[in-house]
């Protein structure tokens, strides 16, 4: 039955488990035929297991080339790459790629295959039996926030850009690879969808603890998603490799300061997350509940609205008590404009979401897209003021 929720962002949440492996690059070089200088010039780098490391740097500096050498879509000209203890340059490339998830812009889905077939492709190639593949497809669609019943048999063209991207992530995770490579995965979607996908990734990573290498052009995205950021210059020269906090506070060279841009101080705000705020509990009701009973609970709690949860416990709408008083039963209608943010959303994201929906608050999602609470615009503004004065002081 439904009841008033309490926020779930308490500090007693268990530490993130790690299912990823470390990645070590030693003197990795790529020289394309006919180029005077290598695209990637003797890069050495260590990426710890279970961390998300963001690759940023100017166009053409070699980020994608470096990423694609990790799964040997591009063969290195020199150097070695280890995943855990294994030297990837000595492995069969096809087998290697089944152990490394790969996500590209627009999901890279096969248009003539259903969502389910796309997601189940690697498990099928690995020879899993049919039942296990089917169960895995449903589990993964659920993980990325898509109802398997609704989406399993659709074709990619019947999905929005954001949904396609979610399927792309589900497909990359299908065989539970320890490493996920992501090449500008959210580059082609609108800003609000992008923000939601970023929140989803943070949530999934919290659950799974993969080693993620992520190429982006967007420094804010790097700050938001990265445990660490690598700032590259031409030839994939590593200019700085550190936490977002450290890079923002102390850019290694003028070049990094320029790259971060003039708003570095304000970018500190990107470091403050919704999970650091106090969330308000709210009355909830499930689809099909008696409206009068739900209304009585909302009024008793002093709430002016309540949050409707679908059968998986995910928020789908937030009707006011006046609206509920005109209902017999709580309807299954999904409010497409419902402002939702994740616990990992930044304060900037949360503000954007509220402004885009013209709402003074937003629903906060926790684990498995369940309700964590409500955040109001006043709470966000107060936190921004605080962060600003800390940065200034
Ligand atoms: N197949 C190729 N043949 C020859 N040169 C290439 C090839 N692919 C990339 N390059 C060159 O190698 C350099 C690095 O390219 P790469 O795509 O890795 O950079 P990037 O940092 O990912 O760029 P962007 O951010 O624009 O995607 C560039 O100078 C590019 O022109």
Q: What are phi and psi of 346, to 5 degrees?
A: -85, 165
Check whether 191 has a pLDDT greater than 90.
no
List pocket residues of ligand 1, CB cut-off 6 Å: 32, 35, 39, 57, 59-65
Check whether 312 has a pLDDT greater than 70.
yes
pLDDT reported for residue 251: 82
pLDDT reported for residue 12: 40
Over residues 371-380, the mean pLDDT reads 91
CA distance 346 to 351: 9
Please tell me whether residues 126 and 250 are part of one structural domain. yes
Confidence class of residue 192 from pLDDT cuts 50, 70 and 90?
Answer: confident
CA distance 188 to 332: 31
Last residue of a domain, one of 229, 245, 264: 264
Domain contains 2? no
Please tell me whether residues 161 and 61 are part of one structural domain. yes
Using alpha carbons, list the distances in angstroms from residue 14 to 8, 207, 314. 12, 10, 22
Strand ordering across the sheet containing 315-317: 284-286, 307-309, 315-317
What H or E segment, with its residue span, contains residue 348?
Answer: helix 347-357
The highest-confidence range among 96-105, 164-173, 262-271, by mean pLDDT, is: 164-173
Half-sphere exposure of 156 (CA within 13 A, CB side): 18
* 40 CA closest ligand 1 atom index: 14
Rounded to the nearest angstrom, the distance between the alpha carbon of 237 and the centre of ligand 1 is: 14
- Whose alpha carbon is nearest atom 4 of ligand 1? 32
Please tell me whether residues 146 and 235 are part of one structural domain. yes
Please tell me whether residues 140 and 204 are part of one structural domain. yes
CA distance 281 to 9: 12
Domain contains 3? no
Please tell me whether residues 37 and 185 are part of one structural domain. yes
pLDDT reported for residue 255: 77
Rounded to the nearest angstrom, the distance between the alpha carbon of 232 and the centre of ligand 1 is: 13
Check whether 196 has a pLDDT greater than 90.
no
Reported as a single tens digit per residue, the pLDDT across 17-33 is: 788 899 999 999 999 99
Check whether 264 has a pLDDT greater than 60.
no
Check whether 265 has a pLDDT greater than 60.
no
Query: CA angle, 47 as apex, 44 and 49 as ends, to 5°?
Result: 150
Domain contains 331? yes
pLDDT reported for residue 390: 67
CATH number at residue 296: 3.10.580.10
- Exposure string of 338-376, with b = 16+ CB inside 10 Å and e = fewer, is bbbbbbbbbbbbbbbbbeebebebbbbbbeebebbbbbb
Q: Provide the residue range defining the domain that includes 312.
A: 275-392
Confidence class of residue 9 from pLDDT cuts 50, 70 and 90?
Answer: very low
Q: What are phi and psi of 333, to 5 degrees?
A: -60, 130
* 215 CA closest ligand 1 atom index: 22
The two tokens of residue 111 are 């248009």
Domain contains 94? yes
- Whose alpha carbon is nearest atom 12 of ligand 1? 39
CATH number at residue 254: 3.40.50.300
| CA 33, chain centre distance (Å) | 36
Please tell me whether residues 213 and 311 are part of one structural domain. no
Rounded to the nearest angstrom, the distance between the alpha carbon of 40 and the centre of ligand 1 is: 9
pLDDT reported for residue 13: 44
Domain contains 7? no
pLDDT reported for residue 206: 87
Last residue of a domain, one of 230, 264, 298: 264
Reported as a single tens digit per residue, the pLDDT across 318-359 is: 999 999 999 999 999 999 889 999 998 888 888 888 888 888
pLDDT reported for residue 307: 96
Please tell me whether residues 284 and 250 are part of one structural domain. no
CA distance 388 to 373: 25
Over residues 150-163, the mean pLDDT reads 92
Rounded to the nearest angstrom, the distance between the alpha carbon of 235 and the centre of ligand 1 is: 10
Domain contains 17? no
Please tell me whether residues 125 and 237 are part of one structural domain. yes
Please tell me whether residues 31 and 133 are part of one structural domain. yes
Beta strands 211-215; 179-183: pairing state = parallel
Structural domain tally of the chain?
2
pLDDT reported for residue 246: 87
Which of 43, 64, 184, 237 most suits a substitution to test ligand 1, by most atoms within 8 Å of the C-beta?
Answer: 64
Residue from 103, 71, 69 nearest 185 by CA: 103
Rounded to the nearest angstrom, the distance between the alpha carbon of 93 and the centre of ligand 1 is: 21
Please tell me whether residues 258 and 286 are part of one structural domain. no
Check whether 269 has a pLDDT greater than 70.
no
Reported as a single tens digit per residue, the pLDDT across 90-140 is: 888 888 888 899 998 877 899 999 999 999 998 998 889 999 999 999 999
pLDDT reported for residue 83: 93
Reported as a single tens digit per residue, the pLDDT across 35-52 is: 889 999 999 999 999 999
Residue from 227, 204, 205 nearest 369 by CA: 204
pLDDT reported for residue 327: 95
- Whose alpha carbon is nearest atom 26 of ligand 1? 59
Please tell me whether residues 280 and 198 are part of one structural domain. no
Last residue of a domain, one of 264, 284, 312: 264
Domain contains 16? no
Which of 38, 39, 230, 233 most suits a substitution to test ligand 1, by most atoms within 8 Å of the C-beta?
Answer: 39
| CA 130, chain centre distance (Å) | 29
Rounded to the nearest angstrom, the distance between the alpha carbon of 64 and the centre of ligand 1 is: 7
CA distance 46 to 184: 21
Please tell me whether residues 314 and 236 are part of one structural domain. no
Domain contains 9? no
Rounded to the nearest angstrom, the distance between the alpha carbon of 10 and the centre of ligand 1 is: 44
Residue from 63, 14, 24 nearest 233 by CA: 63
């Amino acid at each position: 039955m439904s009841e008033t929720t309490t926020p779930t962002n308490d500090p007693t949440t268990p530490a993130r488990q790690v299912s990823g492996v470390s990645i070590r690059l030693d003197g990795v070089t790529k020289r394309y035929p006919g180029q005077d200088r290598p695209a990637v010039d003797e890069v050495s780098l260590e990426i710890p297991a279970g961390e998300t490391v963001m690759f940023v740097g100017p166009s053409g500096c070699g980020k994608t080339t470096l990423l694609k050498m990790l799964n040997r879509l591009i063969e290195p000209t020199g150097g070695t790459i280890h995943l855990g203890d294994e030297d990837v340059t000595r492995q069969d490339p096809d087998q290697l790629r089944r152990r490394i998830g790969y996500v590209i812009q627009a999901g890279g889905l096969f248009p003539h295959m259903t969502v389910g077939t796309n997601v189940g492709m690697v498990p099928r190639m690995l020879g899993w039996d049919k039942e296990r593949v089917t169960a895995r497809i449903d589990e993964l669609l659920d993980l990325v926030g898509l109802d398997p019943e609704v989406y399993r048999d659709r074709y990619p063209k019947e999905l929005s850009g954001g949904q396609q991207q979610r399927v792309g992530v589900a497909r990359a995770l299908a065989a539970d690879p320890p490493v996920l490579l992501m090449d500008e995965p959210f580059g082609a979607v609108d800003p609000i969808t992008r923000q939601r996908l970023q929140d989803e990734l943070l949530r999934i990573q919290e659950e799974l603890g993969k080693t993620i290498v992520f190429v982006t052009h967007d420094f804010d995205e790097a700050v938001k998603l990265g445990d660490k950021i690598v700032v590259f210059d031409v030839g994939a020269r590593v200019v700085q490799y550190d936490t977002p906090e450290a890079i923002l506070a102390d850019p290694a060279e003028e070049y990094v300061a320029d790259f971060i841009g003039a708003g570095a101080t304000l970018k500190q705000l990107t470091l403050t997350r919704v999970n650091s705020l106090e969330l308000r509990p709210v009355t909830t009701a499930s689809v099909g509940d008696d409206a009068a009973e739900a209304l009585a609970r909302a009024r008793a709690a002093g709430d002016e609205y309540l949050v409707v949860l679908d059968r998986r416990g995910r928020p789908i709408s937030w009707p006011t008590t006046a609206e509920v008083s005109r209902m017999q039963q709580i309807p299954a209608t999904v409010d497409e404009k419902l402002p939702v943010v994740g616990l990992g959303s930044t304060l900037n994201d949360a503000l954007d979401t509220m402004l885009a929906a013209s709402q003074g608050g937003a629903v906060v999602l926790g684990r498995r897209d369940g309700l964590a609470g409500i955040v109001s615009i006043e709470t966000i503004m107060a936190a921004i003021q605080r962060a600003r004065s800390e940065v200034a002081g």
